[in-house]
Amino acid sequence: MTDVTQPTQDRASSDQPPASSEQTRASSDQSPASSEQTRASSDQARAALLAVRHEVAKAVVGQDAAVSGIIIALLSRGHILLEGVPGVAKTLLVRAVAESLDIQTKRVQFTPDLMPGDITGSLIYDPHSAEFSFREGPVFTNLLLADEINRTPPKTQSALLESMEERQVSVDGVPRPLPSPFMVAATQNPVEYEGTYPLPEAQLDRFLLKVELPLPPRDDEIMVVHRHASGFDPRHLAAAGLRPVAGPADLDAGVAAVRTVTVSPEVTGYIVDIARATRQSPSLSLGASPRGATALMATSRAWAWLNGREFVTPDDVKALAHATLAHRLALRPEAELEGVNVGSVLASALSSVPVPR
């Protein structure tokens, strides 16, 4: 690729007037100061976003991994699927993160009779002006909590697709941009499938991450019960001491900083080889697509930046592989009958790929 494009760039630069070299020198003179300012802004944003985990812990016990997943999804401009049995604080977690980030959040309880317009908004006739006006739906927010997304029909589920991918809503042929930042945090129950509509693979692939919220260990559960006995009310987070420790400006600075995190050719090849290994697994009917590989690169860059590095390591890739790829894989029926699970297949694929040094 370099051999093809470089001569074109050389010819273009040779046609430029000599003044361009002066501009280059001027920009190079300014670069140290601007670089230092950018680094300071990046460090400040990182410290603020890392403080979110400590702040959320005032309301939610023992779900640091899920909090990190939400932050990574926001930094990568993606969406997250939270899976857990009822009562593990999925809804409370999202509300606490939004409170700590000082961003707006809305909640939609997905039900079988929910219509697409109930999410995106609709045109309402105003008898006083004799005109139709658009009334925004709950999707017009920063952090949309789609509670039990698998309980609504595919028609309504698909209403989220445009907003998730294009970050806009089209009603009556008119596109309307969504606020920034915007993220969908969807939840689903993994143990009760009666009367549900499982998300199709195409829509699962739209979620950057899938994070499972386990039942807490005994010590954490004791702390949860003790907090409620001491008067904790999950409906009033301010009373629990939660306060904004970061904001949209920190997210914007973090997004810009994550884009500067470098990925070496060796690590890029490692990511691609992992995705290709899932496609070659005899236990899977569907492996990770190129979108899955780019998603793994994006989450690895965000994780590297949160850990204070300007480059991605193979350990970053391995740390995010399961959360980024597992929900994009589908088992063969015979593998399911043998008791094989996606996690073990993905672990085998990871171990089969040589780690770059």
- pLDDT of 63-115, one tens digit each? 889 999 999 999 999 999 999 888 898 999 999 999 999 999 999 999 889 99
Q: What is the pLDDT of residues 200-246, one digit of tens each?
A: 777 888 899 999 999 999 999 999 999 999 988 888 888 888 999 99
Assigned domain for 25 exists: no
Least confident window among 128-132, 275-279, 307-311: 128-132
> 187: pLDDT confidence band, cut at 50, 70 and 90?
very high
* pLDDT at residue 21 tops 80: no
* pLDDT at residue 35 tops 50: yes
Assigned domain for 317 exists: yes
Tokens of residue 91, six digits: 């809804």
Report in angstroms the alpha-carbon separations of 323 from 15, 68, 132, 236, 258: 49, 11, 44, 31, 19
Closest CA to 97 of 136, 146, 138, 63: 63
**Per-residue pLDDT at 33:** 64
Assigned domain for 106 exists: yes
Specify whether 157 is located in the same domain as 64.
yes
User: What are phi and psi for residue 32, nearest 5 degrees?
Assistant: -60, -45
Assigned domain for 242 exists: no
Contact 266, 356 (CB under 8 A): yes
* Percent helix, percent strand, percent coil in the chain, to nearest 5: 50, 15, 35
* pLDDT at residue 250 tops 60: yes
Residue with tokens 């789609």: 146
330 CB contacts (<8 Å, ≥6 apart)? 201, 284, 285, 286
Specify whether 265 is located in the same domain as 252.
no
Contact 320, 69 (CB under 8 A): no
Specify whether 299 is located in the same domain as 272.
yes
Domain of 306: which CATH number? 1.10.8.80
209 CB contacts (<8 Å, ≥6 apart)? 69, 72, 73, 78, 79, 80, 81, 299, 320, 323, 324
Specify whether 192 is located in the same domain as 228.
yes
Contact 207, 327 (CB under 8 A): yes
Rounded Cα distance, 25 and 18, in Å: 12
Specify whether 57 is located in the same domain as 128.
yes
Length of the chain in residues, anyone? 357
Residue-averaged pLDDT of the chain? 86
**Total domains, the chain:** 2
* pLDDT at residue 5 tops 60: no
Specify whether 252 is located in the same domain as 265.
no
36 CB contacts (<8 Å, ≥6 apart)? none
**Per-residue pLDDT at 254:** 95
Q: What is the pLDDT of residues 285-334, one digit of tens each?
A: 999 999 999 999 999 999 999 999 999 999 999 999 999 999 999 999 99
Hey, is 175 helix, strand or coil? strand
Structural domain that includes position 286: 261-357
Specify whether 152 is located in the same domain as 286.
no
Specify whether 177 is located in the same domain as 317.
no
Assigned domain for 19 exists: no
Which of residues 11 and 184 earns the better pLDDT score? 184
**Per-residue pLDDT at 143:** 95
Specify whether 251 is located in the same domain as 304.
no
Domain of 194: which CATH number? 3.40.50.300
